[in-house]
Amino acid sequence: MQSTRDILADLWTLGGGDPSALDAVTLTGQEPVLPSSFRVGAAAQVTIAAAGLAAAEIWKARSGERQRVSVDMLHAAVECRSERYLRVDDKPPPPAWDPTAGIYKTGDGRYVRLHTNFPHHRDNICKVLACKPERDDVQRALMQWKADDFETAAYAGGCVVSMMRTHDEWLAHPQAKALEQLPLLTIEKIGEAAPKPWPTGHRPLAGLRVLDLSRVIAGPVAGRTWAAHGADVMLMSSPHLPSIPWLVIDTGRGKLSSFADLKTERGRDTLRGLLAGADIFSQGYRSQSIGALGFSPEDAAQINPGIIYVSLSAYGHVGPWAGRRGFDSLVQTSTGFNHAEGQAAGVEGPKELPMQILDHATGYLMAFGAMMARLRQAHEGGSWHVRVSLAQTGRWLWNLGRLDGGLGSTDIKGEAVAPFLEDSPSGFGKLRAIRHSAVLSTTPPSWSHPAVQLGASPLAWPETGIN
């Protein structure tokens, strides 16, 4: 089984990093840190360390100064479920899931997972099942279905669901086969452009501008990470799109937040204007959707030659499921994690991983990939496209191996989390939230701009930096 240092070295090489930079990294702690048969602590620590080291390399490129990077595994694991520990005016988070969300049995004795946290997804499920939005009614209706048939019909009906598969079943699936030859992430040159000089500033990403068109966890975590290293991050949302308020607060630290309705020409014009002044464009829409609006990677490279474009998907950009919607919980179910964890725990049916690690780790991979692409842009020019997916992160996590007795680990208690918390003001009240776990010796990460309500910021880049 690989050490966390070796895992980081492989990831760093994949991103095109200078091997000598790894000498500056210190990884502390040991597995397991959370009850799981999977190496979730290692995945958290390594992806956060990769992003932190990329920020340190950018600082070296800007200033000529090397610095040390250290990441503690326990802190990293806590950060990868940061939404659990957020407090607003000392109040804990509300229930994380809609009452109808979760696992159900189907008539053929199998299991399906429904994601209903957005009202239109819940309504679509009830339409497909011809039932009321109540758990008992949904369960009765699902007993009339085979799991595979329901999954197919539900996606056709605009729902977001998954059938629980074993890992072997997933590996035999056409989508898994389509992803077999793809790396964990890709960094691809998509156009010609002159190298962009680094702006002035006292932090690794100071003066860099990021447009963040993402929701829920993975993409917003990437934006939060860039903000922690000094970037000006503008979260772009639509006033017509649903959101999960607690996640908006937790991942909104360090960001501006503006509204633009991309279904209107005015909204698209606004986004094009902001894109023309951006360094990174990060988005989690399906490729056909964002392309239809005029913001494909190629469109962005024409609007702003030299852009770093980051694409997040659930199941990858190739294969029959390339356009399929998905969330961490569903990808865990589809690809075999829930089945394997349940078997390891000796329980009937699925068991979730102890955090939404596919989301969080993918977010840090997005941050890492974009920073490595920006280093290349400064050196050789070009426009660049970074691709990541929850399914590819899952395959990587699976291939890290399993922990014998990992499920016997004690879950993290409140007193163990206390050292990682910090207080800050926000547009929602006083926040108590998890600090970033990558410690840089010269440019320590921080969020100097408070989390704000969606749409609270002007539709313009600030003349001076926010972080």
Residue 144 inside a domain? The answer is no
At 81, the amino acid letter reads: R
pLDDT given for residue 251 in this prediction = 95
Report how far residue 460's alpha carbon sits from residue 260's, in angstroms, rounded to the nearest whole number: 11
- Three-state DSSP at 169 gives helix
Residue by residue, pLDDT tens for the chain (467 residues) are 999 999 999 999 999 999 999 999 999 999 999 999 999 999 999 999 999 999 999 999 999 999 999 999 999 999 999 999 999 999 998 887 888 999 999 999 999 999 988 888 899 999 999 999 999 999 999 999 999 999 999 999 999 999 999 999 999 999 999 999 899 999 999 999 999 999 999 999 999 999 999 988 999 999 999 999 999 999 999 888 878 889 999 999 999 999 999 899 999 999 999 999 999 999 998 778 898 999 999 999 999 999 999 999 999 999 999 988 889 999 999 999 999 999 999 998 999 999 999 999 999 999 999 999 999 999 999 999 999 999 999 999 999 999 999 999 999 988 899 999 999 999 899 999 999 999 999 999 999 899 999 989 999 999 877 88
pLDDT given for residue 215 in this prediction = 86
Q: Ramachandran region of residue 35, left (φ > 0), alpha (ψ -120 to 50) or beta? A: beta
pLDDT digits (tens, 9 = 90+) for 148-199: 999 999 999 999 999 999 999 999 999 999 999 899 999 999 999 999 999 9
Report how far residue 112's alpha carbon sits from residue 83's, in angstroms, rounded to the nearest whole number: 25
**Is the separation of the CB atoms in 370 and 309 below 8 Å?**
no
**Is the separation of the CB atoms in 115 and 96 below 8 Å?**
no
The two three-digit tokens of residue 462, written as one number: 């600030």
Domain span holding position 297: 4-94+179-318+354-440
For the stretch 166-172, contacts whose Cβ atoms lie closer than 8 Å and that sit 24 or more positions apart, written own/partner, are: 166/336, 166/339, 166/340, 167/335, 167/336, 167/337, 167/339, 167/340, 167/398, 168/336, 169/336, 170/334, 170/335, 170/336
pLDDT given for residue 244 in this prediction = 84
Rg (CA), the chain: 21
Residue 192 inside a domain? The answer is yes
pLDDT digits (tens, 9 = 90+) for 408-453: 999 998 889 999 999 999 989 999 999 999 999 999 999 989 999 9
For the stretch 118-126, contacts whose Cβ atoms lie closer than 8 Å and that sit 24 or more positions apart, written own/partner, are: 118/242, 119/242, 120/158, 120/242, 121/158, 121/159, 121/160, 122/98, 124/154, 124/157, 124/158, 124/159, 125/100, 125/154, 125/157, 125/159, 125/161
Report how far residue 22's alpha carbon sits from residue 10's, in angstroms, rounded to the nearest whole number: 11
The two three-digit tokens of residue 169, written as one number: 């079943």
pLDDT given for residue 344 in this prediction = 96
Residue 138 inside a domain? The answer is no
pLDDT given for residue 63 in this prediction = 96
Measure CA of the first residue to CA of the last residue in the chain; give whole Å. 40
Please state the φ and ψ torsions of residue 71, each to the nearest 5 degrees: -140, 125
**Is the separation of the CB atoms in 164 and 339 below 8 Å?**
yes
Report the sign of the C-alpha dihedral through residues 400, 401, 407, 410, in that order: negative
In DSSP terms, which residues pair with 13 in a beta bridge? none
CATH number at residue 235: 3.40.50.10540
pLDDT given for residue 321 in this prediction = 94
Residue 86 inside a domain? The answer is yes
Residue 49 inside a domain? The answer is yes
The two three-digit tokens of residue 401, written as one number: 């191996």
Residue 21 inside a domain? The answer is yes
Question: How far is C-alpha 358 from the chain's CA centre?
Answer: 7
Residue 16 inside a domain? The answer is yes
Angle at 363 between CA 358 and CA 369, to 5 degrees: 120
Residue 282 inside a domain? The answer is yes
pLDDT given for residue 326 in this prediction = 87
Count of CB atoms within 10 A of residue 413's CB? 8
- Output the CA torsion 75→78→83→84 (10° steps): -130
Q: Work out how many domains the chain is built from and give that number.
A: 1
pLDDT given for residue 191 in this prediction = 96
